[in-house]
């Protein structure tokens, strides 16, 4: 589905996002052979909301609760000197930690790969997972680092000049993915 609103084009509706998260959750369970040993960590801001939704779906489909949390990457970014000051968000690791667990990192948009590299560095400071998997709602290409997601909601070819906006009800009061530029 693709509709226009002003200069932005809607590429995912609320139903599309729900379908993508449902598919990602089933793929995670299939890949892990169930929910055992999983921890889902979101990258602030919207990645945390998506991680919480995925954890609820994993529990629903897998029959067991899956610990969830957040991993802030602000101080691990290699582009702090180029971007405006960012306010660090809390890192929240489940009480049982991540050692020996399969950590599923969740973010809204994968672009250059730098946020994911920063998340991998941040994970080293909180534990040693058995494996790390990456779940992304939108993969827009243009990687600068050799990072590839394991689970993707939508591949969205875009130009570097375009902007992909993910809006989630819990954060933005609306539910859609748009592209503008």
DSSP the chain: --EEETTEEEEE-HHHHHHHHHHHHHHHHHHHTSSTTEEEEEPTTHHHHHHHHHHHHHHHHHSS---EEE---GGG-S-TTTS---PPPPPB--TT-STTSEEEEEEEEESSSHHHHHHHHHHHTT---SEEEEEEEEE----SSS---SEEEEE----TT-EEEEE-HHHHS--EEEEE-
Rounded average pLDDT over 100-114: 97
159-175 residue pLDDT tens: 999 999 999 999 999 99
d(CA 50, CA 55): 9
Q: Tell me what pLDDT residue 77 has.
A: 83
Whether the per-residue pLDDT at 3 is higher than 70: the answer is: no
Rounded average pLDDT over 85-100: 90
For the whole model, what pTM was predicted?
A: 0.93
d(CA 93, CA 160): 34
Domains in the chain with CATH codes: 21-81+91-180 (3.40.50.2020)
66-77 residue pLDDT tens: 999 999 999 898
Lowest mean pLDDT among 7-16, 76-85, 94-103, 125-134: 76-85
d(CA 113, CA 39): 21
pLDDT band at 85; cut points 50, 70, 90:
low
Q: Tell me what pLDDT residue 88 has.
A: 84
Q: Tell me what pLDDT residue 79 has.
A: 73
């Amino acid at each position: 589905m693709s509709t226009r609103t002003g200069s932005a084009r809607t590429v995912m509706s609320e139903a599309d996002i729900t379908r993508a998260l449902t598919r990602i959750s089933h793929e995670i369970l299939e890949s892990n052979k169930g929910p055992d040993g999983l921890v889902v960590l979101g990258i602030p801001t919207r990645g945390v909301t998506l991680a919480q939704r995925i954890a609820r779906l994993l529990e629903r489909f897998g029959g067991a609760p899956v610990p969830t949390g957040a991993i802030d990457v602000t101080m691990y970014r290699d582009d702090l000197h180029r971007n405006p000051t960012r306010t660090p968000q809390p890192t929240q690791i489940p009480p049982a930690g991540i050692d020996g667990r399969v950590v599923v990192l969740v973010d809204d948009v994968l672009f250059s790969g730098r946020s994911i590299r920063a998340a991998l560095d941040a994970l080293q400071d909180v534990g040693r997972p058995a494996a790390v998997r990456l779940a992304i709602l939108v993969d827009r290409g243009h990687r600068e680092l050799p990072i590839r997601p394991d689970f993707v909601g939508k591949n969205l070819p875009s130009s570097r000049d375009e902007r992909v906006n993910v809006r989630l009800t819990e954060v933005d009061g609306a539910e859609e993915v748009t592209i503008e530029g």
